[in-house]
Amino acid sequence: MPHIVAVGISHKTAPVEQREKVALTDTTTRTLSRELVRHPDIAESVVLSTCNRTEVYVHALDSAGAEDAICDALVEHSKGMTRSELDCIRYVHLDDRAVAHLFRVASSLDSMVVGESEIQGQVRGAWECSAEEESTGVLSDRLFRQALETGKRVRTETKVAVRPVSVSTVAADLAREAIPDLGGRRGLVVGGGRMAEATARALMERGLGELVVINRTVGTAREIAERLGGMGLGYDCLAAELAKADVVVCSTDAPHPVISAEQVTLALDDRPTRPMVLIDIAVPRDVEPAASGVHGAVLFDIDDLERVVAQHRDEREDHARRAEVIVGEEVERYSAWRSGLAVTPVITSLREMAEAIRQGEIARITAQGGEVTEQEMERIHQVTRSILNKLLHEPTVRAREAAAHMDGMRHVESLRMLFGLDMPDRGPGEVADQTPRGVAARPGADG
C-alpha cells in the first residue's frame, strides 16, 4: 500500500528568516508539484505554501526515496537554503501521522493563531492548484477533501474559532495597540492580494480614518480601495504616501523588500514627533529588518504575531482538546478507507478464484454424463453458491477488519499468498491511475 509522506517547515520549527527562503510563489508551487510526480518514487503530490508554512504531501511506495526527493526539490526552488540547513528545521510525517498533521492544519489547530479562518482557503487552494497541474489522484483527492471536511467539523462542533482571530486581524490589533486612536490617522496598505485586503478591512473596522492602497497593478489597488472606501495608487506614489502614513501594512509576494530602511528614514525626517507603525506580514519580508532601528519607526513582522496569539491561547485550550478528538476520529475514518482500498482487490480476486472453481466443478460433473434438468441445475447452483458464500464470509470480514489497522495488512498479504492469488505488485503511478488525475468534483479549492 502506498505511503503518505508529509515534509515541511513551519513557524514551529523555523524563524521567518528561514521560512522566507522556502516560501513559494504560485508559479513555483505549480512547477514543484509537476516535478515531484515525475519522480519514480512519487505518484501524487500537493504543495502548500503560506506565510507560516511550506509543506509537501505525496503518495509513494518508497517513503524514504520520496522524502529525499522532496527535500532536494525544496532546496532547488529555495532562495539560498542548503540541504543541511533544511534538514535541521524540517519535519517529516508518515501515513496516519501525516494525515493527522494535515487535518490539524486544515482545522487551524497548527496555525500560529489557533482558530484563524484563512487556512481552510489556503488548503483548498493548494489542492486545486495541484489538481490543475494533474499531480493529484484518488488518494490525495480523498485526503484533501476530508481535510476540508474535518476543518468544517471543528469550526461547527467546537468554539475553537471563538473571537475569530486571523493574521489580518492580529495585524490590525497590533496597529491599534501602538496607536490607540486610529481615527484621523492614515493607513497605507502595500499589496493587492487577499491578505492585504483583509488587513485593510480590519483596520477600517477599527476606526482608521483614511486608507491608501498601493499595488504594482493600479487597477487592482483601485478595486480594493473602492470596496473599502479608500484611494488606490501605483508604486510610483510609494515614497510620497509613506511620508503621510501612520500605519503601513505590507503584504506582497515580492521576492525582496519593497520598503528599505532608508525610505523609512526619509519618510520620518519631517515628522520627528509622529511615529510610524510598520506591520510586515509578508514572507519573504517586504520591509528591511534594519527599519526597526530607525528613530520613530515601530516594526512588527510575522513572528511578532505570536505575542498576540498567547493572549487568546488559554480560552481556546478546552475547545482545542475537543477539536483534537474530532481530528482523531477523521484520521481513523480516512485510514479505514485507505486500507479498504488496498484489501478490496484481494477479496475480489479470492471470490473470482472460488467462483471459477465452483463453475469448473459443476461443468466437470455434468460433462460425465447423465441428464440434468433445469430445476436440478438451478438447485446445484443454489447449494454451491451457498457453500461458497459461507466459506468466504468469515475470511472476508476478518480481512476487512484487519485492513483497518496498518499492522493488519500483513494478514491480507497472507491471504493473498496462501490462496496463490494472481495480483502482481503495482507501481506508485498505477495506484493514482485508478481514477483520472485531477479533481473531478471537488469543493471550491495559515495564517
Active site residues: 51
HSE toward the beta carbon, residue 264, CA cutoff 13 A: 27
> Are the beta carbons of 231 and 200 closer than 8 angstroms?
no
> Are the beta carbons of 245 and 179 closer than 8 angstroms?
no
CA distance 160 to 158: 6
Question: Which of 295, 287, 251 has its CA nearest to residue 269?
Answer: 295
Residues in the chain: 447
Roughly what angle, to the nearest 10 degrees, separates helices 138-157 and 118-132? Answer: 170
CA distance 214 to 191: 6
As given in the structure block, the three cell numbers for residue 442 are 471537488
Q: What is the Cα Rg of the chain in Å? A: 29
CA distance 243 to 239: 7
> Are the beta carbons of 260 and 288 closer than 8 angstroms?
yes
